[in-house]
Copies of this chain bind each other. A is one copy, B any other.
Amino acid sequence: MSNNKPIRRIAIVGTGVIGASWAALYLAQGLEVVATDPAPGAETKLREFVASAWPALTRLGLAPGASQSNLTFTADLAKAMASADFVQENGPERVDFKQKLYGQLDELLPPHVIIASSSSGIPMSQIQPGAHAHPERCVIGHPFNPPHLIPLVEIVGGAKTSAETIERADEFYTSIGRKTVRVKKEMAGHIANRLQAALAREVWYLVAEDVVSAADVDTALSWGPGLRWGVMGNMLLNHLAGGAGGIEHALKGLGGPMAAWWKTLGSPEMTPEFQRKLIDSVHAEVGSRTIEELETERDELLIGLVELRNRRAETAASHKAAAE
């Protein structure tokens, strides 16, 4: 079966911020990458991005054979698709554009090649009708920015996506160290962006209402609940909040206060005044620190946290193996 052919060669369609980060990740995982983008100067920008990401990827661990020299670039879509085993599409977020693109890709690619879209905003059910012959091989494979540092990939099928496509996409992403989730219904924002929206709504409300400064709400999150969310998910944390009684006990205790808090949470309007409050408070927090300094800070800590969790998982796995 051609379906069992190992995935060795990835075609990246669209090499903006997300596409370039995917390219760097795939290269670091020892895969071949052929990238395509019609924008002038795209190849230079892509190669610069990959080079700039390489030290971080090296720290996180390169796969055998990983090399920046496994990257090729062509502005010709058809050439990029030749002998591709898997496509990661990162085109503009417009339904008409994507439908047309998927029509072209569908004609160029043999039917076993999965076309995965990084789209955060357009459901696959609206994109895949463009792929007339084989819409079943189209799926959302949505990363979290920046994909080369953040392991999450959200997998969502459209109405015509096959179960096999979802299974194979999940296996592939997992094989290269991604943490996958399967979203069982198409929802605006999939999962992760909805969680961000839910949190930002209250954060922004509290800042705009002068309950707390941007600096202080950032402290409250990143030295409080955020610390825990950096190491474990909400549901398992709820389970542990119940002590020996687990989730059942936790919901008995938390259910009442939680329902009461829900009634008081903010529901702000995105007015210019509202945005102005956020902007002013962020600038007071940032002070003289540059974007570059803050990015370095964020990425150094992100890499450190991913390393910490990977090491811990290896330790746990070796303890388990020793006990068996």
| Proximity string of chain A (180-201) to chain B, C-beta cutoff 8 Å, 1 when within and 0 when not | 1111110111011111111111
Residue of B201, B214, B226, B237 touching A230 (CB-CB under 8 A): B226
Which positions 291-308 of chain A face chain B at CB distance < 8 Å? 291, 294-295, 297-298, 300-302, 304-306, 308
- The yes or no answer to A279 lying at the interface (CB within 8 A) is yes
Residue of B144, B202, B243, B302 touching A198 (CB-CB under 8 A): B202
Residue of B187, B232, B308 touching A298 (CB-CB under 8 A): B232
Asked whether, in the complex, the Cβ of A230 is within 8 Å of the Cβ of B230, the reply is: yes
Asked whether, in the complex, the Cβ of A195 is within 8 Å of the Cβ of B221, the reply is: yes
Binding-face segment, A39-47, A95-103, A133-141, A256-264: A256-264
Instruction: Knowing that A121-B257, A228-B302 touch, tell me 4 more A-B residue pairs with CB under 8 angstroms.
Output: A150-B227, A182-B216, A189-B261, A240-B291
- The yes or no answer to A105 lying at the interface (CB within 8 A) is no
- The yes or no answer to A209 lying at the interface (CB within 8 A) is yes
Nearest 10 Cβ contacts at the A-B interface: A230-B230, A218-B233, A226-B229, A152-B224, A231-B301, A198-B202, A197-B261, A179-B223, A181-B216, A214-B235
Interface residue ranges, A against B (CB under 8 Å): 121, 144-145, 150-152, 154, 179-185, 187-189, 191-203, 206-207, 209-241, 243-244, 246-248, 251, 255, 257-262, 264-265, 267, 270, 275, 278-279, 281-283, 285-286, 291, 294-295, 297-298, 300-302, 304-306, 308-309, 312, 316
Q: Using known A-B contacts A228-B302, A236-B285, determine if residue A279 contacts B247 with beta carbons closer than 8 Å.
A: yes
> When chains A and B are docked, how far (Å) is the Cα of A209 from the Cα of B185?
9
B-chain residues with CB within 8 Å of residue A184 when the two chains form the complex? 210-212
CB<8 Å pairs between A and B, sample of 6: A191-B217, A194-B265, A195-B221, A240-B294, A262-B267, A301-B312
B-chain residues with CB within 8 Å of residue A224 when the two chains form the complex? 144, 150, 152, 191-192, 195
> When chains A and B are docked, how far (Å) is the Cα of A238 from the Cα of B298?
12
